[in-house]
Amino acid sequence: MTTLQRKDAPKGSTWKKETVYASWKDWKKEYDQAVKELPEVSKFNGKLKDGPSVLLDWFEVYNKHFERVSILGDFARWAVTVDTSDDEAKRYVGLSVSLSSKFQAAIAFVKPQLLEIGETLLEWVEQEPRLAVYKHYFDNLIRLKDHQRSEEVEEILGEFERPYGDAYRTFSELANVDLKFQDAVDLEGNHHPIFQATLGSSLQSSDRERRRTAWENYYDSYLAMENPFASLYLTRVNQMEFIRKARHYDSVLAMRLAPNNLPVEVFHNLIDTFKKNLPVWHKYWDVKRKVLGT
């Protein structure tokens, strides 16, 4: 088995990126336009309270910019996903992250000013049927108002997005580009290359030796890099703790569950129920092992 380079892959097996941007030149043109038009969102600063019609105009402008920023970022990230050695794509990922950070900072005024309007937002929904689609958003915004910060703090948190994402990008580079794995070897001595995308086929093989060597060789490579991975994990923990404090949550768990309106007790009940029933699961595997004679 030889490793197929991205550039040599059959065109029919690749995603049709031309339907989004025909070239990086077109991507950059759209990016430049997005940067040029970004100040458009700031024109609504201080005006959201002027009534339902102004709020509708705001959401129209917001959705336009959000969609553009999202597509630019997704396109660049997809390009890196299909070829992690594509340095050009990585450069555009960096630009897209910078744009997203600027966008988040530019709209930092929105939630604080919507919260100043408060329950009146729900009255506006009744007055203007076109705002009905945002009712759930307004409900959640009001529910989470104690964790919303001032415009100045929200702007800083928005700008924090880029350095915030560096830890994950470093992890991705390490795990998907730099990390190398020894081949899995089956009972007949045949070699089966291990990559992130091919591990599953070896782990699901009927050849027990191939499964064993695939598992060991894959995770031994991670163990060999445990210190940098541990450092990246600690960085992630510190990032979450920073945001927790900034948003006045009791725990990171509560912060992660709050947007979906899930009580912390639901999470702990799930884990406790799983632990309580582990003996039944273990009994199942014991019976299966005996039946298969392994």
Angle, CA 38 vertex, CA 47 and CA 120 arms, to 5°: 25
**Which domains, and CATH codes, for the chain?**
12-161 (1.20.140.70), 172-265 (1.10.287.830), 266-294 (no CATH)
> What digits encode the pLDDT tens for the residues 162-191?
677 778 888 888 888 889 999 999 999 999
DSSP character at residue 131: G
Answering whether pTM is above 0.85, one says no
pLDDT for res 1: 52
Q: Over the range 225-242, which residues count as b (16 or more CB within 10 Å of their CB) and which as e?
A: eeeebeebeebeeebbee
Q: Which among 68, 74, 87, 85 has a CA at the least distance from the CA of 17? A: 74
Instruction: Show the beta-strand stretches assigned E in the chain.
Output: 184-185, 191-192
pLDDT for res 2: 58
pLDDT for res 11: 80
288 by Cβ neighbours in 10 Å (0-12 / 13-18 / 19+) ranks as exposed
Residues of the chain with pLDDT under 50: none
